[in-house]
A = this chain, B = another copy of it.
């Protein structure tokens, strides 16, 4: 499912969906068993059943709803004949909710159904159900203790001020090379065999032939990578450039590109080219800004199925480059 791939970002949506699912399931069961009750009534009725007559506010805070919600639900339950509402003689502001005899009768016949729901949930969800419950409880507690918004904003401040570093390859980063590339390649194209090889063993396929591998790091996280491959003496290919989708737009791509070009110059390379795909508009624009020039046709003897764009680096003069940097 697409939403799952968004992990924390779509937690709200997924929890809502699961919540609706459970409400719906409970209602189906109630209907099938001819119980005169709806799933949304459960918290209020159960609370009153266990704790006896209570005020609107008590119920609301116990079941974690607003007083309005309880008040409106109480209206509905009164209409359904499950509740009586009366003023507290000791405190005229309070409205005391009391279960009617009908409600007591309905509820006491419901033990079997509730038990079935509990057991059915355990049976259907297995140990995952327990894990969900315990994780849920832990999260509720954590959120109550520490406001998540503050934590996020603190992260945001930290990230905003965190320096974007471009660092050369180290063995511990090998895994990121695969992860970052596979992530987007799989989405947009196929992962070709030649990719898999190179991504799995950069030391052999990138460094050993005289290439360079750079990574972009932001506040501890490795968010992008780019390789400079030596095809033949003095002839280099810019390749495997990518930035984690969640970190696009931070300029990491541009810095990686500049880093690789700088390496190319440092080695006194004669030619620098790249192959890409015409669909990747944003990337192509960036290549052009960095000094690459579109070539007609594709490069002879390309390794890639997906390549339909061929560009060569044509370093502009100093004055022109200055202008390009600005934009």
Find chain B residues with CB under 8 A from A159 CB.
Answer: 112, 115-116, 119
Copies in the complex: 2
Find chain B residues with CB under 8 A from A63 CB.
Answer: 2-3, 10, 13
**Is the CB of A168 closer than 8 A to any CB of chain B?**
no
8 Å CB contacts to B: which residues of A1-20?
1-4, 6-20
Q: A14-B140, A18-B140, A248-B115 are in contact. Are A152 and B120 (CB under 8 A)?
A: yes
Would you give the shortest CB distance from A102 to chain B, in whole angstroms? 13
**A120 and B18 form a contact (CB under 8 A):** no
Q: Mark A1-43, 1 if CB is under 8 A from B, else 0.
A: 1111011111111111111111101101100110000010011
**B160 and A112 form a contact (CB under 8 A):** yes
Would you give the shortest CB distance from A320 to chain B, in whole angstroms? 19
For A136, give its contact among B9, B18, B112 (CB under 8 Å). Answer: B18
Of the candidate stretches A143-151, A189-197, A209-217, the one touching chain B is A143-151
Q: A9-B118, A140-B4 are in contact. Are A64 and B17 (CB under 8 A)?
A: yes
Of the candidate stretches A125-133, A230-238, A268-276, the one touching chain B is A125-133
**Is the CB of A251 closer than 8 A to any CB of chain B?**
yes
A104 to B327, CA, bound (A): 9
**Is the CB of A137 closer than 8 A to any CB of chain B?**
yes
**B26 and A111 form a contact (CB under 8 A):** no
Total interface residues on A, CB under 8 Å, equals 97
Nearest-neighbor residue (CB-CB) of A152 within chain B: B120
Of the candidate stretches A46-54, A78-86, A301-309, A311-319, the one touching chain B is A46-54
Find chain B residues with CB under 8 A from A42 CB.
Answer: 9-10, 13
Would you give the shortest CB distance from A242 to chain B, in whole angstroms? 14
**B26 and A22 form a contact (CB under 8 A):** no
Find chain B residues with CB under 8 A from A8 CB.
Answer: 117-118, 121-122, 129, 133
Find chain B residues with CB under 8 A from A282 CB.
Answer: 50
**Is the CB of A266 closer than 8 A to any CB of chain B?**
no
**Is the CB of A185 closer than 8 A to any CB of chain B?**
no
**Is the CB of A250 closer than 8 A to any CB of chain B?**
yes
**A110 and B16 form a contact (CB under 8 A):** no
Find chain B residues with CB under 8 A from A26 CB.
Answer: 12
**Is the CB of A167 closer than 8 A to any CB of chain B?**
no
**B153 and A124 form a contact (CB under 8 A):** no
A17 to B66, CA, bound (A): 11
For A115, give its contact among B113, B128, B137, B249 (CB under 8 Å). Answer: B249
Nearest-neighbor residue (CB-CB) of A2 within chain B: B62
20 A-B pairs besides A8-B122, A124-B146 with CB distance below 8 A are A3-B43, A3-B64, A8-B121, A8-B129, A10-B42, A10-B46, A11-B22, A12-B22, A13-B19, A17-B64, A18-B136, A25-B149, A32-B153, A50-B282, A52-B285, A108-B249, A116-B159, A118-B246, A119-B152, A129-B139
Q: Which 5 A-B pairs have the closest CB atoms?
A: A120-B152, A111-B249, A15-B19, A108-B249, A116-B156
